[in-house]
Amino acid sequence: MLNLLGEYTCKIDAKGRLMFPARLRKQLDGVLHHGLVVNRDIFEGCLVIYPQPEWDKVNREMSRLSRYNRKHQLFQRKFMKGSTHVELDGSGRINLPALLMEHAGIHVKKDNEVIVSGLGEKIEVWSKASYSKSVLDDAEDFDFGDLAEDVRQDLEPGSEN
């Protein structure tokens, strides 16, 4: 089971190639030879990179959806839209598709720095501005402690901390 950790400021060149952090490459050592899949995040304006074995798990979940249920098909179509298999080149870079970068607000001509963050079994890629707004800048009405309690309740219904 992967437990990808770390937060890195990285550069994307004019061709959309992301210099993949060496520390994440090391954490992916056992699975990197299978390649990676990059996709849109379903909740936030960022990209998600899955090691191929993790993407295979996602595909197994997708295969449980009914092809005869309109909602299932719509979800699958929206989720899979733009997903792309990528591999590291000899310089340790991956090529991010232009449409996916557009979704994440990554504009290589304006600002070529992004935040790459390990998140358990996947990796997120954010524009610096989006990361600052969505992850770093807590709104005044946001209480991380309340969120932690709610999530804990979801994991263990009936527990009171």
Note the pLDDT tens digit of each residue in 9-46. 999 998 999 999 999 999 999 999 999 999 999 999 99
Rg, the chain, Cα only: 17
Q: What is the mean pLDDT of residues 57-70?
A: 95
User: What CA dihedral angle connects 102, 104, 110 and 114, to 10 degrees?
Assistant: -140
Instruction: Name the pTM for this structure.
Output: 0.87
So what's the pLDDT on residue 69?
A: 96
pLDDT tens-digit readout, 146-156: 777 777 777 77
pLDDT band at 160 (very low <50, low <70, confident <90, very high): low
In this structure, are residues 47 and 125 in contact, taking their beta carbons and an 8 Å threshold?
A: yes
d(CA 11, CA 117): 13
Q: What is the mean pLDDT of residues 68-90?
A: 95
Q: Which domains does the chain have, with CATH numbers?
A: 7-133 (3.40.1550.20)
**pLDDT exceeds 90 at position 1:** no
Bigger pLDDT: 56 vs 111: 56
d(CA 56, CA 50): 9
d(CA 116, CA 127): 9
Helices 52-63 and 70-80: crossing angle in degrees, nearest 10, is 160
pLDDT tens-digit readout, 102-132: 999 998 876 689 999 999 999 999 999 899 8
pLDDT more than 70, % of the chain: 90
User: What CA dihedral angle connects 73, 75, 79 and 82, to 10 degrees?
Assistant: 50
What's the DSSP call for residue 127? E
Residue 66 has which token pair? 């009914």
